[in-house]
Amino acid sequence: MPPSATVDVHQHLWPPAFVEALRLRMRPPMMRGWTLHTAHEAPFTIDPADHDPDRRRQLDPDRGRILLSLSSPLGIERLVPDEAQPLLDAWHDGLLDLPEPFRGWASVNHVEPDLDGLKQRLSGGPAGLAGPAGLAGLQVPADELATPAGLERAAPVLRLCEELDRPVLVHPGPLARGASDLPPWWPPVVDYVAQLHAAWWSWQQTGRTLLPALRICFAAGAGLAPLHHERYAARGGGRVVVDRDVFVETSSYGRQAVDALTRALGIDVIVLGSDRPYAVPVDPVLGAAARVAITVTNPTRLLEGERP
């Protein structure tokens, strides 16, 4: 399998138009110069080099596809539509201006989802691996799916992806309260993991009943929720059945966690996600066959579905 076939399903790189749209705002989320201000996290100074496509390609020269995610913790998907739309437009249009190997995940406003607009975006080109421009699928904030009822509310948006045969990436969403008094590692290690954990179990409870054919991927190993299957069974949840269309990606985890996920779920649903520039890809050292599965075979199936 040639190196150019490898895929990273989760990175962050902001197109210039998106940065400028954040700078135009008068309240969070907004940017002043290269300092990001959000509603619930401390101001964060961004390194412009982290959003330089040429530099990013140098970091991952063998990557055939890099899928970029809107930063859901900014809370853009939760703004009122008139505030969200300029940012979402700048994100989507900016993605399509980026060179190879960059593709991206669409995002949608969750206050008043524009399903027609989303359908047009997701129908604009082939899925992430196959062709020229086009968005791979849809990213949704994990806190939107944090309960079965939340998953049911999000079902119309997710069902559109199912109908279009496009996958969904579940990414951590914004914090529910301020974090200025906490160390900077706290939100990604505590809050984001908890959101993903809840979204995973909501999916286990309700997802397949609502969306029998959707391909879905949970960032950061679903907060390692799959490792709790024994406790789930012990407390009356029953047995977790491995679903070949429910994936987890590896961002911020290494050998121990990825090995444990493969023991709980098998290798076929583990895909590479790095979360650059906030983390770097880690080789779990599980052997050449596992490396091809995680970086080539499995992400191809996530993006394109099963092939005869």
The pTM assigned to this predicted structure is: 0.94
Residues 163 and 277: their CA atoms lie apart, in Å, by 33
Q: Worst-scoring range by mean pLDDT, 92-101, 124-133, 246-255, 267-276?
A: 124-133
pLDDT at 92 over 60: yes
Q: Report the pLDDT value the prediction gives residue 275, as an integer from 0 to 100.
A: 95
* Cβ-Cβ contacts under 8 Å for 214 (sequence gap 6 or more): 158, 159, 161, 162, 167, 168, 207, 245
Distance CA 260, CA 137 (A): 28
On the question of pLDDT at 308 being above 80, the answer is: no
Tokens coding 34:
């290269």
Q: Which of 93, 104, 100 minimizes the C-alpha distance to 12?
A: 104
Tens of pLDDT, residues 15-43: 999 999 999 999 999 999 999 998 888 88
Whether residue 129 has pLDDT greater than 80: no
pLDDT digits (tens, 9 = 90+) for 217-233: 999 999 999 999 999 99
Q: What is the pLDDT of residue 132?
A: 38
pLDDT in tens, 262-293: 999 999 999 999 999 999 998 888 899 999 99
- The pLDDT of residue 127 is 43
Give the per-residue pLDDT at 131.
Answer: 36
Strand order in the sheet with 30-32: 30-32, 35-37, 44-45
What pLDDT is recorded for position 283?
Answer: 86
Q: Using 50, 70 and 90 to split pLDDT, how confident is the model at 106?
A: very high
Contact 261, 268 (CB under 8 A): no
Which residues 6+ apart lie within 8 Å of 286 measured at CB? 255, 258, 259, 262, 267, 294
pLDDT at 8: 96
For 4-8, 20-24, 65-69, which range has the lowest pLDDT when averaged over its residues?
A: 4-8
CATH class belonging to 3-303: alpha beta
Residue 87 has pLDDT above 60, yes or no: yes
In single-letter form, the type of residue at position 231 comes to R
Task: Kindly state the average pLDDT of the residues 195-201.
Answer: 97
User: pLDDT by residue (tens digit) across 239-252?
Assistant: 888 999 999 999 99
